[in-house]
Amino acid sequence: MNKLFVSIVIPSYNEMQNLKKGILDKVSKYLSSQKYEFEVIIVDDGSDDGSREFVKEFVAKNKRFRLLENDHTGKAGAVTKGVLSAVGDYILFTDMDQATPIEELEKLLPFIPEYDIVVGSRSNNRSGAPFSRKIMANGMIILRTFLVGLSDIRDTQCGFKLFSKEAARKIFTTYSSVHQGFKSIKNSSVTAGFDIELLYIGERFGYQVKEVPIRWFYVETRRVSPLRDSVEGLLELFKIRSRIIKKVYQR
């Protein structure tokens, strides 16, 4: 096999609804039309709705795709496992619902290798998002800037981020070490602090970050609760702030 240019990491927890829409076929069709070599790593995070079996059948027929089976540790644990097993020169993580279509990768690639981290930004385009989600987003920006920093990045939460392999290895290894690995959980968990902490660690290591506007479409999900997610997000920010004060992230 030729040297892999990019690895795509997709966490999956009870994603049968999205899988039945042909999401993986769409991802495969687009990437197969490109001139570079790629791999797609789907990290099943302990699904119990049949989606793990669905993905197993898909990867058996699509050799550029592979499945990693994980205990249910939440998105942070699943993405970290996928990133640390990736072999591409660049590593993108994205969501199974493809709220940001895989085609948007074209907008990130021109900024490598000048930048170590290229993040998709929805700041000027939150098409279809309910008013409550927009309020949550703006509130998070204000609180995050005050407690953590990252003032140069408008949208830290977009789940469409591209890293150089070197930056990804160092950032995600550090993230895992800070959290002492990942414990099994019972319910779904999309930790608001995950993306913020990754970018903060990247900043600590001196990696250059570029924010690039991308298309994003609101996808309804039962996992989003404005009140619960706002409270959890605030608690995560205070935890990160506490680690900063304690100099946990010092090199």
Q: Are 102 and 27 in contact (CB under 8 A)?
A: yes
250 domain-assigned: no
Q: 16 pLDDT exceeds 90?
A: yes
Give residue 222's pLDDT. Answer: 53
Rounded to 5 degrees, what angle do the CA atoms 43, 25, 62 make? 65
Q: Are 215 and 123 in contact (CB under 8 A)?
A: no
CATH code for the domain in which residue 183 is found = 3.90.550.10
Q: What pTM was estimated for this model as a whole? A: 0.90
Read off the pLDDT of each residue in 203-218 and give the average, rounded to a whole number: 93
1 domain-assigned: no
Packing angle of the helix pair 193-204, 165-178 (nearest 10 deg): 120
Residues in the chain: 251
CA–CA distance, 126 with 122 (Å, rounded to integer):
6
Give the number of C-alpha atoms closer than 13 A to the C-alpha of residue 124, restricted to the C-beta side: 6
Q: 29 lies in which domain range?
A: 6-245
126 domain-assigned: yes
Give residue 124's pLDDT. Answer: 56
17 domain-assigned: yes
Which has the closest alpha carbon to 138: 238, 226, 228, 242?
A: 226
CA–CA distance, 71 with 228 (Å, rounded to integer):
24
**Residue 86 Cα distances to 70, 208, 244, angstroms:** 15, 21, 29
State the residue for tokens 């414990």: 183
165 domain-assigned: yes
State yes or no: cis peptide before 11, omega within 30 of 0.
no
State the residue for tokens 């509130």: 139
Give residue 217's pLDDT. Answer: 84
Confidence of residue 136 (pLDDT cuts 50, 70, 90): low
Which has the closest alpha carbon to 108: 91, 95, 125?
A: 91
The token pair that represents 225 in the structure block? 């609760």
Q: 1 pLDDT exceeds 60?
A: no
Q: Are 207 and 118 in contact (CB under 8 A)?
A: no
Task: Look over the chain and give the mean of its residue pLDDT values, rounded to a whole number.
Answer: 89
User: Could you give the number of structural domains in the chain?
Assistant: 1
251 domain-assigned: no
